[in-house]
Structure formats: C-alpha cells, structure tokens
C-alpha cells in the first residue's frame, strides 16, 4: 500500500494531517477537524507554534483522532514528520497564511508542519486565508502558481468580512466547503472509484480564438480549467481519455491531448474522434461567431474603423448529438447569466444530450477562469443534481458520477 492509498491502518479510515498555521481563520479549523472526524476520517492535527495565539492545542487534542503535534520533539519517534508524511492519505492546511505558502513554495522545512509537507508524497490541499491586499499581492500569486504546478489543490478564499472590519476577498473558505473537497479528494484516491476502466472518453476544453487579423481575435473568458479537470477525473477513474483543448493549462497525466485554436479546428477534432468514444463531454466554450473574412495584414487605427462582418460557427454539440452511435453518453455544458435552468433544459432537448451541466457565470467564483464552480446537472431522464460551490476537480467528479450511473443503466 502506498502512502496515499485511501485505506489506512487506522481501522480502515483515511488518514488526514490537518495543518493549522497562524491566522485568525484558525478558529474555523476546529470545525473542519470536527466534521472530518464525524465523517470517519482519522485526523492528525499539526499546529504551528504561532497558531496557538489564535486557537488552543487542547481543543484539537479533544476533537482530533490523536494528540496534537507542534514540534519534532512531541513524540518518541525522532522523525515524526516522516511518520506523518508516509501515513497521510492527504494533508490539508487550513488556514494557509501568506507566510506558510511562501515557505512551502520555497521548500523550507523549519517547523513540523512544513517539514511534513516536504516529507510527503500524499496529495496536499491548501486553504489560503489573509487580507485582500495580501491575497492580491504578486508574490502570493506566484507562490500559489508554483504550488499548483506541483499538484497542490487550492481551495480559494471567499469574499466577506475580514479581520479588522474590512470587506473583501481573503476569508478562508467555509468549513463545509473544505470538508466536502477533502472527502471528494479522498474518494477519488480509492481504488474502488476506478469505475471507468475500459471506457473511452473524449473531452473538449477551452475557449476558441477566431482571428480578425494576424494580431487580434474574438474569444471568450473560458480558461479551460473545468474541461481539463474533467479529463483528469475520467483518467484517474480508469478511462482512456482524449482531450481536445485550446487552453494553456497543465496537461493531465496519462491523457492524450489534441491542441486546437479555432472553432473549425475544434469541430474537426471532435467529430473525427467521437465515433470511437463511449462518452463525449463537450465542455469547451466554442465561439458562436467569427469574422467572415480574416484581414491578412494588421489593421491600423489610422486607417479608420474597419467593418467587421460576423458569421455563425457550426454547433458542434448539436452535430455530435446527431451523429452519436447507439449507447454513447453525450454531455454538454451551458454557461449562462440569466434564466439558467430554463435555458439549460431547452439546450438539453435541442442538442439531444444525456446530461447538461449548467452554471451561472455571473455569480462570484463560478465558472470562467476561477478554480471553483457551482453547477446544476440536468439529465434527459429528469434527474437534477445541484453541486454547490466547489473546487473544479470536485465538480468534475460529480459530473463523472452521473456518467457512471448512465453507463450502468440499461440503454435503448
């Protein structure tokens, strides 16, 4: 058994290290600890010494699954960080202060928490919490980007009231949100979730670019994060995955990637591969319009305002619906700003899909370019599944769960 298998020696319970650094949001970590233990998780609390200025060690002693540790000298073992790092199925740091993120990104190991982080191969989830100005500082963003590139999951902070009475982005995510993300991550690590083994999945991602001239184009705000998360989730659960993407996001491990840019390229790549797929997920935000003619040289302001004539692009999802072979599962996405449910249900019927995943991209932290999403999954059989604001990886697993149910159901 590897160090991050979801079955652990603690009575079969997953083993989670809960790291708490020195921020006012540490009081929320008490609730995170309680909820995880109630969910059947073995929680090993690790507090930094400065964290005890905000919360008491005795509280975590009482609520955790084992005594709280703060230094490398807290137990008989001379290497507690190795024990924790090897036993952990997952490590979650809540709150993760700007200081903690900087030290972790730099690979420093100057206390038990950072030493454990450096000594593990288990998945790590960090929950940043800090004042808005700190959250928006380029150094913090750079450190987060470095950690994400290493595979660390970030549960972004929320908008709301901050310490000192200010209002803005930076308050740690709600305990319920953190616990839901941790449990979903643990579930995805279990061998029992390899429920797409032998299934061929085709996924699209990103927003297309339609050229006006050699330097300008029409596009949208899609980052491709959700589509890439879907491809990664399907692969993690055993599927053979092809990802057709226009996004500059990290490529999921073990996934065949086809790079495209325009709607026409996306159409050709999807239609030419769809007949071989058991599941097709059209998560890309394909441009609805493109310039009728691309100007071959750069337009200049001195030449006046050009006449830009647009034409509609082809509806790739509808064509996939018309062409799909018997038994294939087809999933579409509907990014809306108003009448979300009504528009999603109408698209579900019009496109001939099995599932339509809808979200309100005008809502805070939802949809385009965010690391989080909140969706409602509408099924052609009348099912409706609401997924509250969650990490996009968790939303991806929720969509895959519905696909698995459809694959298991009798098909006409």
**Residues 6+ positions from 327 with CB-CB distance below 8 Å:** 278, 411
- Whose tokens are 């709301």? That residue is 160
C-alpha to C-alpha distance for 153 and 93, rounded to whole angstroms: 10
On whether the CB atoms of residues 397 and 187 are closer than 8 A, the answer is yes
**Residues 6+ positions from 316 with CB-CB distance below 8 Å:** 204, 263, 266, 267, 270, 271, 282, 284, 286
Token representation of residue 358: 């809808």
Residues with catalytic annotation?
220
Is 69 in a helix, a strand, or coil?
A: strand
How far does Cα 390 stand from its chain's mean position?
A: 8
Please tell me the number of Cα atoms within 13 Å of 11 on its side-chain side: 6
On whether the CB atoms of residues 117 and 91 are closer than 8 A, the answer is yes
On whether the CB atoms of residues 128 and 214 are closer than 8 A, the answer is no
How far does Cα 56 stand from its chain's mean position?
A: 32
C-alpha to C-alpha distance for 42 and 138, rounded to whole angstroms: 36
Token representation of residue 182: 């941790």
C-alpha to C-alpha distance for 171 and 13, rounded to whole angstroms: 30
List strand residue ranges (DSSP E) for 195-320, in order: 200-205, 210-213, 216-218, 240-245, 256-259, 279-282, 289-291, 310-312
> ∠42-47-51 over CA atoms, to 5°?
140
Bridge partners, residue 203, by sequence? 243, 281
> ∠96-100-101 over CA atoms, to 5°?
80
Is 157 in a helix, a strand, or coil?
A: coil
Backbone angles phi, psi at 298, to 5 degrees: -60, 135
């Amino acid at each position: 058994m590897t160090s991050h298998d979801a079955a652990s020696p603690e009575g079969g319970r997953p083993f989670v290290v809960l790291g708490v650094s020195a921020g006012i949001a540490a009081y929320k970590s008490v609730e995170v600890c309680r909820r995880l233990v109630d969910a059947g998780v073995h929680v090993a609390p690790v507090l930094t010494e400065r964290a005890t200025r905000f919360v008491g060690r005795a509280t975590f002693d009482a609520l955790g699954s084992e005594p709280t540790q703060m230094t490398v000298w807290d137990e008989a073992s001379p290497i507690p960080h190795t024990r924790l790092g090897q036993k952990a199925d997952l490590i979650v740091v809540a709150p993760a202060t700007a200081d903690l993120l900087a030290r972790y990104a730099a690979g420093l190991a100057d206390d038990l928490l950072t030493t454990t982080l450096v000594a593990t191969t288990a998945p790590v989830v960090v929950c940043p919490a800090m004042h808005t100005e700190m959250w928006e500082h380029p150094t913090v963003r750079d450190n987060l980007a470095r950690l994400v590139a290493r595979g660390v999951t970030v549960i972004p902070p929320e908008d709301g009231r901050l310490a000192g009475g200010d209002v803005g982005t930076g308050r740690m995510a709600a305990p319920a949100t953190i616990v839901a993300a941790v449990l979903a991550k643990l579930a995805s690590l279990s061998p029992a979730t390899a429920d797409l083994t032998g299934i061929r999945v085709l996924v699209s991602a990103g927003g297309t670019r339609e050229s006006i001239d050699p330097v300008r184009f029409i596009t949208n705000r899609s980052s491709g994060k959700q589509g890439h998360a879907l491809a990664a989730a399907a692969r993690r659960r055993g599927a053979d995955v092809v990802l057709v993407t226009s996004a500059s996001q990290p490529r999921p491990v073990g996934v065949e990637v086809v790079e495209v840019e325009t709607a026409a390229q996306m159409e050709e790549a999807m239609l030419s591969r769809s007949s071989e797929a058991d599941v097709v997920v059209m998560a890309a935000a394909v441009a609805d319009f493109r310039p009728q003619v691309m100007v071959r040289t750069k337009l200049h302001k001195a030449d006046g305002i050009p006449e830009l004539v647009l034409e509609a692009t082809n509806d790739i999802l509808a064509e996939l619906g018309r062409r799909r072979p018997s038994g294939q599962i087809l999933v579409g996405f509907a990014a809306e700003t108003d009448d979300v449910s009504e528009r999603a249900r109408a698209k579900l019927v019009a496109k001939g899909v099995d599932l339509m995943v809808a979200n309100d991209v005008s809502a805070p932290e939802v949809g385009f370019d965010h690391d989080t999403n909140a969706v409602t999954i509408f099924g052609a059989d009348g099912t409706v599944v609401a997924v509250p604001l969650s990490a996009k990886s968790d939303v991806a697993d929720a969509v895959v769960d519905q696909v698995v149910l459809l694959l298991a159901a009798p098909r006409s």
